[in-house]
Amino acid sequence: MDEQSVIEARDFTKKFGSFTAVDSISFTVAKGEIFGFLGANGAGKTTAMKMLTGLLTPTSGQARVAGFDVWHEADKIKRNIGYMSQKFSLYNDLTVVENMTLFGGIYGMSMPEIKDKAAQVIDKLAIKSFKDRLVASLPLGFKQKLAFSVAIFHRPQIVFLDEPTGGVDPVTRRQFWEMIYAAAENGITPFVTTHYMDEAEYCHRVSVMVEGKIMALDTPAALKARYDCKNMGEVFLKLARNPG
Amino acid sequence: MVEFNHITKKYGPVTGVQGVSFKVNPGELFGLIGPDGAGKTTLFRMLTTLLLPDEGSLSMAGKDVVQDYRFVRSNVGYMPGTFSLYQDLTVAENLNFFATLFGTTVAANYALIEDIYRQIEPYKTRRAGDLSGGMKQKLALSCALIHRPLVLVLDEPTTGVDAVSRKEFWEMLKRLQAGGLTILVSTAYMDEATLCDRVALIQEGRIMQLDTPEQVISGFSRPLYAVKGERIHRLLEFLRQLPQVVSAQPFGDSIHLTLVAEHCLPEVQASILQERPDAVTEAITPTIEDCFMDLMPATHG
């Protein structure tokens, strides 16, 4: 595996019975690159992400994630990645600090390390007055920003973000993307799915999955030029309009 | 057709909605536009008799929603934000069940749902729990329509739905509206606002603005410019440190800019070209999202 790539998949495939959810996809993601993983509902994104994060065993093909093999080193992959989604990110019935302590502990950080890092996050998000409140009581915008901070708390090589900004207000959505950029500049590779097509433009490279296959993979500028489209929304409509 | 009058709803110490008033005209496609937690679901649950308001009154077709809840229940079609049909009944069983519940039959109102139901009819013996997201949505919409309601209430029908399916869903709503139905729909996708006849922009339990999308846009107070260039993030940092710039926000492949005064434009353009000879700056019409962000309280975030 190339030293500068953090994900490398070759002929990566998952079948459920006779249905091929992920059909022989091959791609690499470079360190520090913001990688957009797009596709219509049911195109196979979630299945592919589950395999990349070590939650699901592939049917065939190869992939190395954070330098580890998905077939034999799923546990090591899990230790070296972060994950957040719109649906699940933090425990609502724990406080802000308790959540950080729990996730830091799961990822094997020491107590002094956790305390130090927690102080940094609280300071950066300006949420000192919230630190001992239950996560359930936080406004959604704060929750999502906090969830992202917790997902990269242990300085993973890659952070998987599954529709992280769904339903979030437009100001927070943009603040969230600034956090993604900052993480990428610190060498953490964001791997992002989104249904907001403006967000596809913020990615360094974007792949579009259609019926289990990667139909296109390039920079937003190159994709727009190739398909003669004004924006990524048009590119997506052109590629992803499937019969389902 | 629907009227909210100074409606307030609190959940313990938390305010769900605060003093909300608006009317929806017969045959109108009315949108509640706002992020999660803005109060959209609370308003819809009160309208559909599932929650009681703490203060204020609301009516549907001239009938008080609290007093005449039976009338409302038989004349409103409600599609909640989470899939709420019976997972272990088949497609056809779910539809029959809801028709029977409202004292009608699928055959009697088939014409109304035909356009939508035809797309899932090949799977009518499949259990609802085994359907894909898009098919679940079509079944839920069919079930919400099967008793031929006066008002259709759709709570975030396109959340988590991809751009292609969202477009198709709105085409479906337009066809239903053309048939005379009054539709209330909520969404967190700002771009969907332009597909409604009128919209209420809602945030933290209050309506910030209510008008046609065109009027909302023309109400944007300052000239707006778009700067297009490579490496948006770097360009954004550069623009934000210019003294003439009030706000610079990323919008896909461009940055939307407002300035302290219109006459600053040439200076700003000169600075931009010095930094980025390839960047293009032009005056643009705001989108609903620009308007929403402009209306949001400055303390936010």
> Each residue of A23-43: pLDDT tens digit?
999 999 999 999 999 998 889
Least confident of A59-63, B130-134, B210-214, B246-250: B130-134
The complex's ipTM?
0.82
d(CA A58, CA A48): 9
The domain ranges of chain B are: 2-217, 221-285
Q: Can you give the pLDDT at residue A2?
A: 54
Exposure string over A19-38, b if 16+ CB within 10 A, otherwise e:
ebbbbebebbbebbbbbbbb
Within 8 A of B37 by CB-CB distance, chain A residues are 139-140
Q: Which residue of A has its CA nearest to B189?
A: A167
What is the mean predicted confidence (pLDDT) over B260-267?
A: 91
pLDDT tens for each residue of A197-235: 999 999 999 999 999 999 999 999 999 999 999 999 999
Q: Can you give the pLDDT at residue A244?
A: 40
DSSP for A76-114?
Answer: HHHHTEEEEESS-SS-TTSBHHHHHHHHHHHTT--HHHH
Q: Is the pLDDT of residue B298 over 70?
A: no
Within 8 A of A175 by CB-CB distance, chain B residues are 301
- The bridge status of strand B182-187 relative to strand B151-154 is parallel
Q: Which residue of B has its CA nearest to A166?
A: B160
* Start-to-end Cα distance in chain A: 37
Q: Can you give the pLDDT at residue A141?
A: 81
pLDDT class of B230 with cuts at 50, 70, 90: confident
Task: Tell the CATH superfamily of the B2-217 domain.
Answer: P-loop containing nucleotide triphosphate hydrolases (3.40.50.300)
pLDDT class of A75 with cuts at 50, 70, 90: very high
Length of chain A: 244
Q: Classify A52 as helix, strand or coil.
A: helix
d(CA B219, CA B178): 28
Q: Can you give the pLDDT at residue A3?
A: 61
* Topology classification of domain B221-285: Alpha-Beta Plaits (3.30.70)
Interface of A to B at Cβ within 8 Å reads 39-43, 86, 139-141, 163, 166-172, 174-175, 177-178, 181, 195-202, 220-221, 231-233, 236-237, 240-242, 244
Give the containing element (helix H, strand E) for A118: helix A111-125
Q: Is the pLDDT of residue B170 over 80?
A: yes
Q: Classify A121 as helix, strand or coil.
A: helix
Q: Is the pLDDT of residue A109 over 70?
A: yes
Within 8 A of B35 by CB-CB distance, chain A residues are 140-141, 167-170, 172
Within 8 A of B230 by CB-CB distance, chain A residues are 221
Q: Can you give the pLDDT at residue B83?
A: 86
CB B16 within 8 A of CB B40: no
What is the average pLDDT value for chain A, to the nearest integer?
A: 92
pLDDT tens for each residue of B177-221: 999 999 999 999 999 999 999 999 999 999 999 999 999 999 998
pLDDT class of A242 with cuts at 50, 70, 90: low
- The bridge status of strand A35-39 relative to strand A189-193 is parallel
CB atoms within 10 A of CB A170: 24
What is the mean predicted confidence (pLDDT) over A58-82?
A: 95
What is the mean predicted confidence (pLDDT) over A152-166?
A: 93
What is the average pLDDT value for chain B, to the nearest integer?
A: 93
pLDDT tens for each residue of B96-143: 999 999 999 999 999 999 989 999 999 999 999 998 878 898 999 999
pLDDT class of B164 with cuts at 50, 70, 90: confident
d(CA B113, CA B77): 13
User: Which residue is associated with the tokens 């623009």?
Assistant: B239
From the list A141, A138, A146, A104, the residue with the least C-alpha distance to A121 is: A146
pLDDT tens for each residue of A79-89: 999 999 877 68
SS (H, E, C) chain B: CEEEEEEEEEECCEEEEEEEEEEECCCCEEEEECCCCCCHHHHHHHHCCCCCCCEEEEEECCEECCCCHHHHHHHEEEECCCCCCCCCCEHHHHHHHHHHHCCCCCCCCHHHHHHHHCCCHHHCCCEHHHCCHHHHHHHHHHHHHCCCCCEEEECCCCCCCCHHHHHHHHHHHHHHHHCCCEEEEEECCHHHHHHCCEEEEEECCEEEEEECHHHHHHCCCCCEEEEECCCHHHHHHHHHCCCCEEEEEEECCEEEEEECCHHHHHHHHHHHHHHCCCCEEEEECCCHHHHHHHHCCCCCC
pLDDT class of B21 with cuts at 50, 70, 90: very high
Sheet containing strand B245-251, edge to edge, reads B245-251, B254-259, B224-228, B280-284
What is the mean predicted confidence (pLDDT) over B5-10?
A: 96
Question: How many CA atoms are closer than 13 Å to the CA of A82, on its beta-carbon side?
Answer: 27
Compute the count of residue pairs across chains A and B with CB atoms less than 8 Å apart: 103
d(CA A234, CA B226): 19
What is the mean predicted confidence (pLDDT) over B88-102?
A: 96
- From B252's Cα to the closest Cα of chain A, the distance in A is 4
pLDDT tens for each residue of A117-149: 999 999 998 888 889 999 988 887 888 899 999
Q: Is the pLDDT of residue A241 over 80?
A: no
